[in-house]
Amino acid sequence: MRLLRVAAPCPHRPEQSFPVPSESRGSRDGTRDQALLDRDKERALAEVVQRVFENYSRDPRSVEQALFDTLYEERRRLETEKDRSQARRQASLYHQDYREALHAPLGRQRELLKRIIRGFAEEVAGHFDPRIYALATRVIPPSLTVTLNAMSPLRLLGILPGGPGTLHDQVDIKGEIDAFRAVAKLGTAVLVATHSSHMDSILLGYMLYRIGLPPFTYGAGLNLFHNKMLGFFMHNLGAYKVDRRKKALVYKDVLKAYAGCTLELGYHNMFFPGGTRSRSGAVEKKLKMGLLGMGLDAYIHNLIAGKEKPDIFVVPCTINYQLVLEAETLIDDYLKEVGKSRYIIEDDEFSKPRRVLDFVSKLFSLNSRIHMVISRPLDVFGNTVDDEGRSLDRRGRVVDRRKYVFRNGRPLFDRQRDQEYTRELALSITEAFHRDTLINSTHLISHAVMNWLHDHNPELDLYRMLRTGGARESLPLPEAYERLERSRQTLGRLEQQGRLRLDDTVMRKDPVAVVSEALAHLRSYHRTPAVTRSGDRLLHRDRNLLFYYQNRLDGFGLPMVEKPQ
């Protein structure tokens, strides 16, 4: 049940940085923690408002600009909000602010801006209700059990009564587990994971529980709070809310500052640096720099405050599925013409309990495993970190990482420098993501069929090829075996160099077994199977899905069928 505690202080003694008298901290169990959490939250809130406001208040024009930009963005957002009555109420408040701000002196404009920032910050931090927390972590009232039994993915993942054993077998956790535990004791950890599915956050929570770490603070999209199944639990649990429809810069600053402040208070954080679920199915190559940079920001703040444990460690983690719950929706979105893709999808498979149920039960009946690979921890500059928490350069020599932010013998901020440091970190994270990506049979077969399609339909562009499938509707099995074997050879060499991971079946079984495992998966869950067998031929059926699953192999030097730029 601990899984559902989305946030709690980490086991080492978080240090005080904000000017509030320190109190003794409770154990990580029980409600005592939550009292602390509430208090920390109050401090974090005050600090967030202060920092974001300061950022704008240095010059009068930026106060004015931030105020009017925010009001403009917010009113525009509210025009398309679904909940009309609430939106109208909010819009009229903003309208009043706007009218007043037009003629207000600077002092009043500053107050208005501060109030808006405070509003954002409170919304992000959410309202904490200990009663619901207790309920979620301990007892499920009978009435709820009924509903949840029928449709909760949490139950299917074994959290509710009825099968944690299965889950244990089904989710394989490997990699640098001990190093992860070690750095979470030595400093504050930031868990960054690849993102393919809304199942990811649940799995990450489960992973932390299994390896004995407390839940991590986590920014969840508003749509997850609105999700029937998860929303109940996400509310009031310390997960902070991210409303991706809010475009105002001030709002984004609030989010970043909130993450930074919780890190400084010693709360482990977790987020998806790709910013959203991978639409193409490929491993993330471009990361969101803003949030990622908060690790370094917190580190420098900690050094300046002279904390005993100033270190922030970044721990990459890959989540590898053989089948992805939302594959159809995601690839569909990716294939939409550039600029038309939706950043927020609210009506995907995850919002349909039956699809989730179907997905999980199929996965379990196929003996399919989800592999979570924890990479070697990094410092905020992208250097690897050993089990004692020391940074190492690429030749394995120990580096005094504090020096990176020192000038004239003292730690200081340098916005341009720090952005570049964060770029280095992002590079190390994407390298780790690729190294610890686990390739399995569904990726290989999809890659083989996609490339066969491409070779046999040179006159078709990608979109027409996916739509029509070209002149031939099937390929001979031996050809599929041969193509699969060829890319397996290439990948095998990369695996030897430690540049990626291969699933056991892919490593050890012959092509016949690999293909038959892949076929069993691909026909089990998706509405239309990506590919099916008919006699000694393979029929390509849902080519979008084939494209989606082959994309996982992008970035490893294999010939790829690509979306035109």
Partner 1 sequence: MSARAELDVLVVGGGTFGTALASLLAEMGRRVRLWTRRPEQAEEINREHTNRRYFPSHTLPPGLEATSDLAAAVRGAPIVFLAVPSRSFRSVARTLGDSLEGDQCVCHTTKGFEIETFKRMSTILREETCTLKTGVFSGPNLAVELMNGYPAGASVASHYQEVTAVVQDLFRGGRMRVYGGRDVAGTEIAGAFKNILALAAGVSDGMGFGDNSKALVLTRGLSEMARIGVSLGADVFTFCGLAGIGDLMATCASPLSRNHQVGVRLAKGEKLSEILTSMTQVAEGVPTTEAVQRYAVAHGLDLPIVRAMHGVLFESWQVEDAVRNLMSIPVGDELSALRYR
Instruction: List residues near partner 1 by CB under 8 A.
Output: 381, 383, 393-395, 397, 399-404, 406-409, 414, 416-417, 420-421, 423-424
Both tokens assigned to 460? 């078709």
Closer residue to partner 1 in complex, CB, 340/395: 395
- Dist. CA 210–CA 168, nearest whole Å: 9
Radius of gyration of the chain (CA): 25
What is the edge-to-edge ordering of all strands in the sheet holding 537-540?
474-476, 537-540, 531-534
- Cβ count within 10 A of residue 177: 17
- Dist. CA 16–CA 496, nearest whole Å: 46
Alpha-helix runs per DSSP H in 497-551: 504-508, 511-522, 543-550
DSSP assignment of 424-470? HHHHHHHHHHHHT-EE-HHHHHHHHHHHHHHHH-TTS-HHHHHHH--
CB of 554 to partner 1, least distance (A): 19
> 3-class DSSP state for residue 186?
helix
CB of 417 to partner 1, least distance (A): 6
- Dist. CA 526–CA 327, nearest whole Å: 8
CB of 499 to partner 1, least distance (A): 16
Alpha-helix runs per DSSP H in 1-105: 32-57, 60-79, 84-103
Closer residue to partner 1 in complex, CB, 362/390: 390
Closer residue to partner 1 in complex, CB, 47/297: 297
Closer residue to partner 1 in complex, CB, 100/420: 420
Closer residue to partner 1 in complex, CB, 21/564: 564
Q: Please check whether residue 379 is in contact with residue 391, taking contact to mean a CB–CB distance below 8 angstroms.
A: yes
Closer residue to partner 1 in complex, CB, 328/379: 379
Tokens 């300046």 map to which residue?
Answer: 304
CB of 424 to partner 1, least distance (A): 6
CB of 299 to partner 1, least distance (A): 13
CB of 329 to partner 1, least distance (A): 34
> 3-class DSSP state for residue 472?
coil
- Cβ count within 10 A of residue 261: 28
- Dist. CA 176–CA 387, nearest whole Å: 10
Closer residue to partner 1 in complex, CB, 347/393: 393
Length of the chain: 565
- Dist. CA 392–CA 398, nearest whole Å: 5
CB of 252 to partner 1, least distance (A): 24
CB of 347 to partner 1, least distance (A): 39
- Dist. CA 180–CA 384, nearest whole Å: 12
Closer residue to partner 1 in complex, CB, 35/289: 289
Closer residue to partner 1 in complex, CB, 507/558: 558
β 438-439/501-502 pair status = parallel
DSSP assignment of 111-177? HHHHHHHHHHHHHHH----HHHHHHHHT---HHHHHHHHHH-HHHHTT-SSS-HHHHHHHEEEEESH
Smallest Cα–Cα separation from 379: which of 189, 547, 123, 249?
189
CB of 350 to partner 1, least distance (A): 38
Both tokens assigned to 122? 């409170």
Closer residue to partner 1 in complex, CB, 27/408: 408
> 3-class DSSP state for residue 385?
strand
Closer residue to partner 1 in complex, CB, 58/415: 415
Q: Please check whether residue 291 is in contact with residue 217, taking contact to mean a CB–CB distance below 8 angstroms.
A: no
β 269-271/188-193 pair status = parallel
Closer residue to partner 1 in complex, CB, 406/463: 406
CB of 247 to partner 1, least distance (A): 29
Element (H, E) at 220: strand 217-221
- Cβ count within 10 A of residue 164: 13
Both tokens assigned to 429? 């994270």
Closer residue to partner 1 in complex, CB, 423/499: 423
Closer residue to partner 1 in complex, CB, 38/414: 414
CB of 37 to partner 1, least distance (A): 35
